[in-house]
A = this chain, B = another copy of it.
Amino acid sequence: MAGVLGIDVGGSNFRIGLFDQEGHRLDLSEGKTDSSGGRDWMLSEIRQRSLSLIEKAELQVKACGISFGGPVDYDQQQVSSMHVSGWQGFKLARWVKEHLNLDCLVDNDANAGALGEFRYGAGRGTHSIVYITISTGIGGGVVCEGKLLHGRDSLAGELGHIPMSVAGAVCSCGGQGCLETFCSGTAIALRGRGLAKRKPAVLARTIELSSGDPDKITAETLFQAATEGEKGAVFIVREAAQWLARGLLMVIRILNPDRIILGGGVALAGKRLLDPLHEYLDILSIPMLQYSTEIALAELGNYSPLYGAAALGWELV
């Protein structure tokens, strides 16, 4: 029997899994990323842990897929990282071939997450999905007819940087009014902090849930207070949901996929995000252009990219 290695190289955690053809995870080795160790530390961890998994495996490991938490030039199979040293222009797939003797395919974590959910998660049984991961920032991946779209510059699925409004804030990317500035976890928290300073009374419960410090407000404490009915928190959550609804409607108008799958930390709010999202999508939708694209939550949680990495590996077998 044959298997593959899936590897998820992330900024906070890294994971290496052994998978069979049905996507069952047979073994797992994971740890915290030591960014100060840079590329060399990470490669050494990957090498040792992978060799150990391969040695223990009861099936023959045939290939490897990697989800990388930073920009990937897919055509060149080359990664880069703006936060951790040593990765710029690094040919990661070639390194795997040389050090683990496995054919390897690398993609960025949002694309890997999309593929993971498509094959083994909330996208099973569909032809096309758009995956959107909402945490600190917003990323995305597009699967059409079973294939990940990369686009001419490996930039397809950059959903966080859809220009939503001329009236938006400056984004981390340098643009203005990107989707990310309206409904990433960071944006939601910032809006909460701003409101808490202007009008502490309408966010009293949120502030209490945030150790009494307006500067410690997070998307999570806002969602919690909104669930309890706090006016200011409800306002901010609904505003974020409204912008997200507009973003998803753009995706629907352009691609009309079978399903849109929401992942990342903010999606953990579950029903508290989905309910207002559906409400706004319903208000924005048009009888003449009735679509049946479904909105679903990711099923694989933090492991979507790891499962996607396994799926990348299977593309080589």
Is A109 close to B, CB under 8 A? no
Overall SS of chain A's interface? loop
Chain B residues lying within 8 Å of A250, measured Cβ to Cβ, are 162-163, 250, 254
Is A155 an interface residue when CB atoms closer than 8 A count as contact? yes
**Bound CA–CA A144/B163 (angstroms):** 23
Output the nearest chain B residue to A150 by Cβ-Cβ distance. B256
Q: Which residues of chain A (144-199) have a CB below 8 Å from chain B?
A: 144-145, 147, 149-159, 161-163, 165-166, 173-175
Q: How far is the CA of A168 from the CA of B258 in the complex (A)?
A: 28
B286 with A161: CB separation less than 8 A: yes
Is there a chain B Cβ closer than 8 Å to A1's Cβ? Answer: no
Q: How far is the CA of A142 from the CA of B252 in the complex (A)?
A: 13
Contact B291 A157 (CB under 8 A): no
Q: Which 9 A-B pairs have the closest CB atoms?
A: A151-B256, A155-B256, A156-B256, A175-B286, A162-B253, A158-B253, A174-B286, A152-B258, A153-B291
- Give me the interface of A with B, judged by CB distance under 8 Å: 128, 130, 142, 144-145, 147, 149-159, 161-163, 165-166, 173-175, 246, 249-258, 284, 286-293
